């Protein structure tokens, strides 16, 4: 492996930092590397594996103004590119306007999501305003560009997919902001996006074509400010949502942004034609859904798969000390998130629903070509109880109800693992899962490759990275 240091940012965090989401597996990375011809520790890279695996990461450079939430961290994209049985690695900070301002000031300028925006030292971005747009949540590749986005809405930042060179902000992004979880339809080569805010109309969505030009944007009025995190689409429709976990309206009027769980209200789905138009609304049992797995059309019915939370706002456990509330809001086992299916009948207006699997899991992957179309398999991440840390992978067969599971030992944490299809593949599971893995026991990180059809057999290849990297959130696969 040939390693070159390409950049470095100063570490402004406290020398004695003990925050659980800035230490351990969440210890930030401050060096930007280029590493060529990664060493293969075990197995072999499939010769047919061609393309790039990119993952975004919350990677704080500055201390926090008040309490820190891991989703406040600055964006950093890690990427490994495969070709001809070899692999190269790069990582780069997302050079946001907020990061530039804090580096110039030498101090933090914005309060995070669990603090009052009034504590921020200047105006900023976000659905609630006065936040730093860290662009650290998501990453996707479309129209020859890698786009990073922020879960509380902000600008869309562009990077070159192969070199991670910064290219500024996307011209197509509306000034009112774009949320994480833009969606790529590989059949039409379109990107579908959405955004939300505290002012009417509260929700908007749009489409970006194969040339990176916005071709449609529509607004949707909701009963008030909401907190959607994800959307779904089918061949002909976009599925938006109004979920009963949102900022308490009475507190919001006082400038306090505190989520409230309203189990007395239904879950609502808005089905909108992709060409634009009025929504069709459907109601279902109250829940919060962080991520949708996929949606597809079955005759006049839209089938929507996602992760139903049985307890969207669990009470903190005082035994966990000062970070009890933080652990409660991040622990998938406390949220009890599990795969679930809704069927939205466009002919009758009726919604039916049922659980798919009981195992707690989240952060889905499906076959690249199954997006918006009928899918049989879904791959999810399992999580360490009490933490926002992944500890394994599960492959779910939605036709047979069978699961395959692979678990890592304690202290070893994988990342969201998208599917890299084998060139010319027709079966959904004909390809590989790729993931970054951070080993806190050995202070190292690796790239692991799994056979998508046999994840329970463990990785078929392990590659060394030049340094241990911080764990992160969302990832994508960009075919070569």
pLDDT in tens, 344-359: 999 999 999 999 999 9
Mean residue pLDDT across the chain: 97
**Mean pLDDT, residues 397-426:** 97
pLDDT above 90 for 413: yes
DSSP 201: T
User: Cα dihedral sign for 102, 107, 109, 110?
Assistant: positive
Neighbours of 77 (CB within 10 A): 25
The pLDDT of residue 178 is: 98
Residue 36: pLDDT over 90: yes
CA atoms of 114 and 304, how far apart (whole Å): 31
Q: Is the peptide bond before 401 cis (omega within 30 degrees of 0)?
A: no
pLDDT of 147-197, one tens digit each?
Answer: 999 999 999 999 999 999 999 999 999 999 999 999 999 999 999 999 999
Are the beta carbons of 169 and 155 closer than 8 angstroms?
Answer: yes
pLDDT tens per residue, range 208-225: 999 999 999 999 999 999
Residues 78-82: what's their mean pLDDT?
98
Q: pLDDT tens digit string along 244-278?
A: 999 999 999 999 999 999 999 999 999 999 999 99
pLDDT interval class at 319 (50, 70, 90): confident
Q: Name the residue ranges covered by the structural domains of the chain.
A: 2-479
Write the pLDDT tens digit of every residue in 191-208.
Answer: 999 999 999 999 999 999
- Structural fold of domain 2-479: Methylamine Dehydrogenase; Chain H (2.130.10)
The reported pTM is 0.97
Torsions phi, psi of 454, nearest 5? -140, 60
Confidence of residue 96 (pLDDT cuts 50, 70, 90): very high
């Amino acid at each position: 492996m040939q390693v070159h240091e390409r950049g470095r940012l100063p570490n402004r965090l406290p020398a004695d930092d003990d925050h659980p989401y800035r230490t351990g597996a969440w210890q930030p990375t401050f060096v930007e590397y280029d590493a060529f011809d990664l060493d293969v520790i075990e197995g072999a890279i499939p010769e047919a594996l061609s393309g790039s695996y990119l993952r975004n990461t919350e990677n704080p450079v500055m201390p926090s103004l008040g309490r820190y939430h891991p989703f406040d961290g600055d964006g950093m994209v890690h990427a490994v590119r495969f070709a001809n049985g070899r692999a190269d690695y790069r990582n780069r900070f997302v050079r946001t306007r907020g990061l530039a301002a804090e580096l110039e000031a030498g101090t933090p300028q914005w309060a995070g999501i669990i603090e009052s925006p009034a504590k921020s030292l200047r105006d900023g971005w976000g659905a609630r305003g006065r936040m730093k747009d860290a662009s650290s949540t998501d990453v996707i590749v479309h129209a020859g560009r890698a786009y990073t986005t922020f879960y509380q809405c902000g600008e869309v930042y562009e990077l070159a997919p192969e070199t991670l060179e910064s290219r500024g902000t996307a011209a197509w992004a509306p000034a009112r902001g774009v949320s994480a979880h833009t969606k790529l339809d590989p059949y039409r080569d379109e990107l579908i996006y959405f955004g939300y805010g505290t002012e009417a109309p509260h929700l908007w969505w749009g489409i970006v074509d194969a040339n990176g030009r916005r071709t449609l944007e529509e607004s949707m009025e909701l009963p008030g400010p909401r907190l959607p995190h994800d959307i779904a689409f089918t061949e002909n429709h976009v599925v938006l949502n109004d979920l009963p976990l949102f900022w308490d309206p009475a507190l919001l009027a006082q400038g306090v942004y505190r989520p409230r769980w309203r189990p007395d209200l239904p879950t609502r789905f808005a089905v909108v034609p992709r060409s634009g138009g009025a929504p069709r609304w459907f109601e279902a049992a109250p829940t919060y859904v962080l991520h949708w797995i996929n949606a597809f059309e079955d005759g006049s019915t839209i089938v929507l798969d996602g992760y139903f939370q049985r307890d969207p706002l669990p009470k903190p456990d005082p035994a966990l000390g000062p970070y009890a509330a933080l652990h409660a809001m991040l622990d998938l086992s406390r949220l009890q998130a599990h795969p679930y299916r809704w069927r939205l009948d466009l002919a009758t207006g009726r919604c039916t629903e049922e659980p798919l699997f009981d195992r707690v899991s989240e952060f889905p992957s499906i076959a690249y070509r199954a997006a918006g179309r009928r899918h049989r398999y879904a791959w999810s991440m399992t999580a360490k109880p009490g933490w926002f840390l992944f500890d394994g992978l599960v492959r779910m067969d939605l036709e047979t109800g069978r699961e395959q599971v692979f678990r890592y030992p304690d202290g070893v944490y994988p990342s969201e693992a998208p599917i890299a299809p084998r060139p010319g593949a027709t079966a959904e599971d004909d390809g590989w899962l790729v993931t970054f893995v951070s080993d806190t026991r050995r202070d190292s990180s690796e790239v692991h490759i799994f056979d998508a059809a046999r994840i329970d057999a463990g990785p078929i290849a392990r590659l060394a990275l030049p340094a241990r990297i911080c764990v992160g959130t969302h990832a994508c696969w960009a075919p070569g």
